[in-house]
Chains A and B, each alone.
Chain A
Amino acid sequence: GAGVSQTPSNKVTEKGKYVELRCDPISGHTALYWYRQSLGQGPEFLIYFQGTGAADDSGLPNDRFFAVRPEGSVSTLKIQRTERGDSAVYLCASSQRRGAYNEQFFGPGTRLTVL
């Protein structure tokens, strides 16, 4: 079956602009996670959705970052007033439900470059 997909694959924007990154999870997966991977680092947790609600947004770095999942499927990560430090690969993962026994399947990520 189809895996997790993310669009766009690459996004180049200018400092101060607004960007949206999309994640299509595996069909039927209720848990969805966003991570950010800076150059030379491991991914860092941003936000977790269980269904439509953001159950844990403790990893969002500041209020310029926001994410939604209005119908419990597709999720969009939104970044306002982008800064050069936001440049990174943004990874999305989904699992059938919350819990360590439910493997998190990752998408290929969106590489965001802020000039």
Chain B
Amino acid sequence: AQTVTQSQPEMSVQEAETVTLSCTYDTSENNYYLFWYKQPPSRQMILVIRQEAYKQQNATENRFSVNFQKAAKSFSLKISDSQLGDTAMYFCAFMKATGANNLFFGTGTRLTVIP
């Protein structure tokens, strides 16, 4: 079974500052993918960034980057130059490379960007 743990229910950051959201996971799979999704009040989940487990290089997407530590089963999200529009729930998610490719989500971190 796969589990995803987000230990920070709420975080806040000043506009233009940097914040890091934590995520750990547990799996016996060797090949898998990890994701960060953003869910604003509109409820629509939006993909922020994706990491393949077999890639050692950390993924980056503009202001968003991850710190993937496979041995530690850790997958944190760093948001640089935080903007008011970044205020949302952030979910870490796991996907097996085989099977249905459904997502396993953590419980989320509510991020508030303070002007």
Residues of A at under 8 Å CB distance from B? 3, 31, 33, 35, 40-45, 48, 55-56, 59, 89, 91, 93, 95, 98-100, 103-104, 106-109, 111
Contacts and interface: CB of A to CB of B under 8 A. Distances in A.
Contacts of A45: 100, 102-104
A98 B43 CA distance: 23
B21 interface: no
A17 B3 CA distance: 33
A41 to B, nearest CB: 6
Contacts of B91: 42-43
Interface of B: 4, 33, 42-47, 50, 52, 91, 93, 95, 97, 99-108
A31 B107 CA distance: 25
A31 B52 CA distance: 20
Given A41-B107, A91-B43, A100-B101, 20 more contacts: A3-B44, A31-B101, A41-B108, A42-B4, A42-B108, A43-B45, A43-B103, A44-B105, A48-B102, A55-B100, A59-B102, A89-B43, A98-B100, A100-B52, A100-B95, A100-B97, A103-B47, A104-B103, A106-B45, A107-B44
Contact of A42 (B42, B102, B106): B106
A43 B101 contact: no
A58 to B, nearest CB: 8
Nearest to A59: B102
Contacts of B52: 100
